[in-house]
A and B are shown apart, each in its own frame.
Chain A
């Protein structure tokens, strides 16, 4: 694929990709769920029936009420509406996921490009060694260990997850660059004396964007789960921040009688992650990317 025709090239397949995406029943469900979650997250203050309950509000007179028409998800131990907190939780989850994936992409892509493009250099060896080290511990275990250096907070969780996530993108990009760099169009650009970074970003990167997009979409659910897990374990978001994982953890004190306190935020995690999984799988099928 010549780089000069790349722009003309991409117009047609894009509509085809979208058509394929909408033909798959599961991805339509995924799109619906994801759209709902994003909508609710953006308009949380207007959608939530009791928006002031997202913070440190206290209404002891209506504490621990079971789900009813007035409080669809019930109320928690200080009388806050769990539905409202769950809705604000969606906002929080999407925010930290965006930040984490953003950092992972910004750090991982250039390192992957460098390691792949100059694959015999000292820098590449070093980068690959570092990636090996990071990937030698599963993400949750590494992220949990990283949080020891900070006070428990939503920031800590974000730092810890970003810290564990960039190597996955770096390794993906590295592998793709290795495949592409001996392609004639890359060698042509090189023989014309094109600058290395221009070749990397302008000629190689656009052609490996599909697997990156697929990975990033599928990773949304992993990051949401990881963030919720860290908060559940007490090293992430703290009261009164309406984080899903933290809400599930606090609800454990009111089991089994007040089952809804833990159950409802957990259900939100489950549905959101299902939505992103369906969508991610659909995008992967539509772009025809397999690893």
Chain B
């Protein structure tokens, strides 16, 4: 009897407390899209090149051009354009009737004021426009880019997601606080509020009607408000998506299983523009022998690495340019399979040929009494992958010292040169940029060619790729450069992680349209998404 009364009391208390606490925390019913993201320090492109703010830039800002589903540049703020016969002048006619969110009209004078007033000098991507000698405003909506040398990739550079257009007046007015207290663009959403460490609120720009051709809805956006909730812990992000108030999430690979098993979620995968590769240090004499590099290459079991390290959420990579970056040559997958394969017997043979033999009863190869000891360095967030790679190399008789370091000390560790193999990655939407920075001799001086390997033929191919006006020759040069990188094996492609995106099925629509683009939300405006 007492037990029964006690049970009733507990049930009643539970019911009352559930009602009081608002059990279930029903999803927001208004026209708001809630996204979980990792947060940022600033939205000032002149201060930080971290990728996180791109999520907001793609909503708040426009670039003059943007990449379509085939990663070809399409006009956004531009009506038409023309290249002079001598290829030293690009003339652009801008779209009319567009205003920045602060009311400043977007026109040729405003564009010139921004590009020359701050962008060319202060932007971290300003070097892309080094050939621009002068900007000449030829009408209210007409502007010429006068060049010192032909620059066929100018349109690609103008479409690069970092090269957003902002009003110089707002940048000057807000000074140091621009990108923190204020952010002004012409995009489909206006920056409304940033509660530090908590959320960024974007409000729909009702005047936006100039969406690019490759989106179905040209504007205004269907969604009235976007809230980006700053949640750094991946398990919490997934809990919020499945049981809380988050509608959209870029799913970390470690949480993939939980998301894929949830029938209330729609999950899509797109290849990322992150390329993961093994870099061989050219400064280490052993490694200048191609057979040593080939042995390392054949020791890598990429399929197992993907299963064990990436929980299956990655593809085997056959080029240091990823399929989601413009400039990727689609034939690389077939071409690269011949070289980039797991072949431990071949690897052992190559090591034997170079004089590294495995003495009886030992696990480490030796040559002239010296052990085959190498130092493998990697980022601390790649440590798991590094451990797997260490085991793979050890199988072949390498003695591997794994040295994970935090990103902050990356440059000093690399520059010290005390390493043989670096398991690293490169994030770039531009395949041309990836090649230019990583594998050319210019990159050695610039500090981004970590291998330190320079090759005149490769330099010439990259130069041709950057300067030819013929798109067919450009594609051929890019293909040849990517093949040359793979065959030289100083940069050994390993995997391309996949970006998994999940939405709450009965809340968000338009996901298929968004997912048709190789770049997920964060580089693509949320014009086609809607709340059901």
Partners in one complex: no
